[in-house]
Amino acid sequence: MIFLKLIVTNLRRHGIRSLISVAGIAFSVAAMLTVVTILQGAIGMFSSILSSDSEMIVFERDVSDLFFSNVPAEAAGQISSWPAVERANPVLFGIVSSAGHPIITCFGVTPADARIQKAVWLQGDRRSFAQDAEDVVLGTRAAEFLSASLGSRVQIGHATFHVVGVLKTANGFEDGGVFMPLASAQSFFHKEGTSSVITVKLRNKDDAAAFKKMVSARYPNLIALEDAEFTRSYSQFRILKATAWAVGGCGLLLGGLGVANTMIMSVFARIREIAILRVNGFSHLQIGGVIFGESAVVSASGAIAGLLIGSCFLYVLKAIPALGGYVDPTIHPLLMLVVLLLALLTGIAGALYPAVYAMRIRAVEALRFE
Amino acid sequence: MRPALEDQDNPRIVLRAENLWKSYDEGTVAVLKGVDCEVFEGQTVALCGPSGCGKSTLLHLFGGLDMPDRGRVSVNAVAVNRHRNLLRLLRHEVGFVFQLHNLIPDLTLAENCLIPTVAAGIDRRIAKARLLELAERTGLSHRLNHRIQKLSGGERQRTAICRALMNRPKILLADEPTGSLDEQARNVVFNLLLDLVATEGATLLMATHDRNLAGRCDRLVEMHDGKIHEHAHAG
């Protein structure tokens, strides 16, 4: 109890300084949580686009970005005829811009694609998709920001298209995208005869390994991966994740420096007190414990405040119409745990030097300290 | 130097300094210049001398707070050096009382007194009982939950004495324990100190400028220029 009071007393004594340190950790945690959650959400959404009613993805071997992947159109036809395969759908990804909207994701798909078949059609009829080369279907958000509805004509990139439907999916990327007939997309993006990927649904999931071998054998330039495997290994995702953690880590580092500063000030302010504890039998470890305890209280308070701030921030982002569907405010418990642990570790690291300094204080000299 | 009480029932030597040398500022300020001293169990010894003569330094060396440049210090016949368990010395064998009370201002009287028991890992109930006992004897029972800022100078110094005795050390090292008090409080605190030392069966080595108080101790040791020049019977 007294040990705890020794820890808390000094924080209360310098309340404003302590609050600033807590705020530093809190905003670092909130920043890390927000950045990582948004990026994980984005990765999750992109993964779910790829794995829409499928469990395998086939794409060009050794490409770092699926937008640059070229899969021959005939491969989709051949793969879909394999006995183990229930369905194989070619998908072409493309990005275009339109007035006021620098990035619009385009999906070139066949009418049989799960994205067309399983989405909720708010306007139009799914049977009308791909009847004409100029036809497009818009996701709900794309329809909003393009101010388009059924029957409208919209300018997308260098061409004008006729809107034959508006659909709602659970995926923010798809909701903000434009669905074109595959042939139109190939022509639009000058990728005739190719797709970016083939999404494959197997009759039996246990055949995944055999399927991968078959793809490698038949198409040396292509590779087949299971969806989860793809999400883990896709370099773009890895770069995004690394960036998210790096940005968050920098935030925490700054927070840690704040804690270190506070703890150094704290130790300097209580040199005499530390000497009193030494004279009364406190060991180096017990003195260190007081300093680390103080930093742990700062870090833990900051981490909890940061979780709350981060969660609120994510909900605010989700409520912004322009970001609708892109932000998933659900914080994964493991992420929460990792962020809390990192915050605590940051606090401990920040208190290392002050604690060592405190442990080395010589009582006899410190008692003369005014 | 021979002890005053040496021939009385062969008392045990609890503090011994042999040819102690100590200097500061890289040897430029010599404080102790070959001090030899022995203190016997149960004695009250006053260490007198002008400021800077090395009284406090000698107390610090006996308490293991500092190490001599040369010579040997022993407490209860065990040498005080870097190899000794200094924590045990501070936790169980010696208690310190300083001129400035050196209490932690944000803690209550009780919490300040309990610090040595926390350090030594003494059972909370035992510590509490000891605190109540000492508070009763020092007249501080009604002040236990008061913060240090609320206490008078005399009460603070009585609190410091309580804290020093919490773990029942058999040696009390007091550095001008009444130096910051007015005459009335000084007498109260010193009487209490002598009374507690007697009832606890402890040994007191006290640095002081006050000749009157020194005269009430069993022995008076004079220090001058880093040496013990004379010692005399007191009281």
Work out the pLDDT band at B57, boundaries 50, 70, 90: very high
Query: Helix, strand, or coil here: A323?
Result: helix
More confident of the two residues B26 and A160: A160
Place of tokens 């914080």: A331
**HSE-up (13 A, CA, CB side) for residue B152:** 11
- Spacing of C-alpha B36 from chain mean position: 18
Q: How many CA atoms lie within 13 A of A343 on its CB side?
A: 31
Select the CATH number that applies to the domain covering B13-233 from these four: 3.30.70.890, 3.90.940.20, 3.30.450.40, 3.40.50.300: 3.40.50.300
Q: Which of A9, A276, A364 sits opposite B60 (nearest CB)?
A: A364
Percent of chain B with pLDDT over 90: 62
**Rounded-to-integer distance, Cα B54 and Cα A10, Å:** 34
Two tokens at B110? 């009780």
**Cα(B229)–Cα(A146) distance, integer angstroms:** 101
Reduced to 3 states (helix: H, G, I; strand: E, B; else coil), residue A284 is helix
Return d(Cα B112, Cα B90) in angstroms, integer.
Answer: 16
Q: What is the pLDDT of residues A233-263, one digit of tens each?
A: 777 778 888 888 888 888 878 878 888 888 8
pLDDT for B122 = 93
What is the arithmetic mean of pLDDT over B4-30?
80
Among the partner-chain residues A3, A12, A276, the one whose CB lies closest to the CB of B102 is A276
CA distance B141 to chain A (A): 19
Residue with the bigger pLDDT between A13 and B140: it is B140
Q: How far apart are CA B163 and CA B196, in angstroms?
A: 12
- The C-alpha atoms of residue B116 and residue A79 are separated, in whole angstroms, by 79
CB contact under 8 A, B91 and A6: no
Which residues fall within 8 angstroms of residue B53, CB to CB, at 6 or more apart?
A: B223, B224, B225, B226
Q: What is the pLDDT of residue B194?
A: 93
pTM (whole model) above 0.80:
no
Instruction: State which H helix or E strand residue A202 sits in.
Output: strand A197-202
Helix (H) or strand (E) run with residue A256 in it: helix A235-269
Q: Is the pLDDT of residue B3 over 50?
A: no
Percent residues over pLDDT 70 in chain A? 97
Average pLDDT, integer, range A88-113: 86
Q: Is the pLDDT of residue A140 over 50?
A: yes
Extents of the domains making up chain B: 13-233
**Interchain pair B119, A283: CB under 8 A:** yes
Smallest CA–CA distance, residue B118 to chain A, in Å, is 8
Place A9 in a pLDDT band, splitting at 50, 70 and 90: confident
Distance CA B206, CA A294 (A): 36
Interface contact flag, B119 A281, Cβ < 8 Å: yes
Q: Establish, for the pair of chains A and B, how many residue pairs have beta carbons separated by less than 8 Å.
A: 56
Nearest chain A CA: its distance from B89 CA (Å): 8
Residue with tokens 């130097």: B1
- State phi, psi for A292 to the nearest 5 degrees: -65, -35
Residue-wise pLDDT tens digits, A277-296: 999 999 989 999 998 998 89
- Average pLDDT (A215-240) is 85
Measured between CA atoms, the residue of chain A closest to residue B102 is A276
**Neighbouring C-beta atoms of residue B179, cutoff 10 Å:** 16
CB contact under 8 Å between A364 and B118, yes or no, is no
> H or E stretch including B166?
none
Instruction: State the smallest CA–CA distance between residue A353 and chain B in angstroms.
Output: 23
- A103 touches B at CB < 8 Å: no
- Which residue of B65, B115, B116 is in closest CB contact with A363? B65
CA distance B214 to chain A (A): 24
The per-residue pLDDT for B4 is 44
The count of other CB atoms within 10 Å of the CB of residue B3 is: 18
Instruction: Give residue B83's pLDDT.
Output: 66
Cβ(A97)–Cβ(A103) under 8 Å?
yes
Which residues of A are less than 8 Å from B63 in CB distance? 279
A284 touches B: beta carbon within 8 Å: no
Sheet holding B44-48, edge to edge: B94-97, B171-175, B203-208, B44-48, B219-224, B227-233
DSSP of B95-120, one letter per residue? EEE-SS----TTSBHHHHHHHHHHHH
Selected for mutation to probe chain A from B23, B65, B87, B156 (highest A CB count within 10 Å) is B65
> What does the alpha-carbon distance between residue A183 and residue A211 come to, in Å, rounded to a whole number?
27
Of the candidates B90, B106, B118, the beta carbon closest to that of A279 is on: B90
Among A247-251, A301-305, B155-159, the range scoring the smallest mean pLDDT is A247-251
A290 touches B at CB < 8 Å: no
B104–A2: do the CB atoms touch at under 8 Å? no
Give the pLDDT band of residue A343 (cuts 50, 70, 90): confident
d(CA B31, CA B51): 11
- Least confident piece of the model among A24-28, A34-38, A105-109, B65-69: A34-38
B117 vs chain A: nearest CA distance in angstroms? 9
B-side interface with A, Cβ within 8 Å?
Answer: 60, 63, 65-66, 87, 90-91, 96, 98, 102-104, 106-107, 111, 114-116, 118-120, 163, 167
Asked if residue B231 has pLDDT above 80, the reply is no
Question: Which residue type, as a one-letter code, is found at position A349?
Answer: A
**Contact status of A4 with chain B (Cβ, < 8 Å):** no
Note the Cα B234 to chain centre separation in Å: 18
Q: Are B63 and B94 in contact (CB under 8 A)?
A: yes
Spatial separation of the C-alpha atoms in residues A310 and A304, rounded to whole Å: 10
Which of B62, B82, B102, B104 best tests the A interface by mutation, with the highest count of A CBs <10 A?
Answer: B104
Residue from B205, B207, B121, B218 nearest B166 by CA: B121
- Closest alpha carbon within chain B to A368: B100
Q: What percent of chain B has pLDDT over 70?
A: 93
- Could you give the CA distance from residue A312 to residue A308 in angstroms, rounded to a whole number? 6
pLDDT score at B1? 40
Residues of A in contact with B98 (CB under 8 A): 367
**CB contact at 8 A, B62 and B73:** yes
Of residues B120 and A38, the one with the higher pLDDT is B120
Identify the closest residue of chain B to A367 by CA–CA distance: B102
Give burial (CB, 10 Å; 0-12/13-18/19+) of A41. Answer: buried
Residue A228: Cβ-neighbour burial (10 angstroms; 0-12, 13-18, 19+) = exposed
A contact residues 196-235, partner B, Cβ 8 Å cutoff = none
Q: Closest residue of A to B163, CA-based? A: A280
Tell me if B63 and A279 make a contact (CB, 8 A cut-off).
yes
End-to-end CA distance of chain B: 19
Q: Where are the alpha helices (DSSP H) in chain B?
A: 55-62, 86-88, 109-120, 124-138, 153-165, 183-200, 211-214
Task: Mark yes or no for CB contact B66/A278 under 8 Å.
Answer: no
Cβ contact (<8 Å) for B91 and A363? no
**Nearest residue in chain A measured CA to CA from B115:** A280
CB within 8 A of A53, min separation 6: which ones? A87, A114, A118, A199, A201
pLDDT at B230 over 70: no
The pLDDT of residue A117 is: 84
State the Cα–Cα distance between residues A275 and A359, nearest whole angstrom.
10
Percent of chain A with pLDDT over 90: 31
Q: With bands split at pLDDT 50, 70 and 90, how would you rate the model's confidence at B2? A: very low
Predicted pLDDT of residue A1: 77
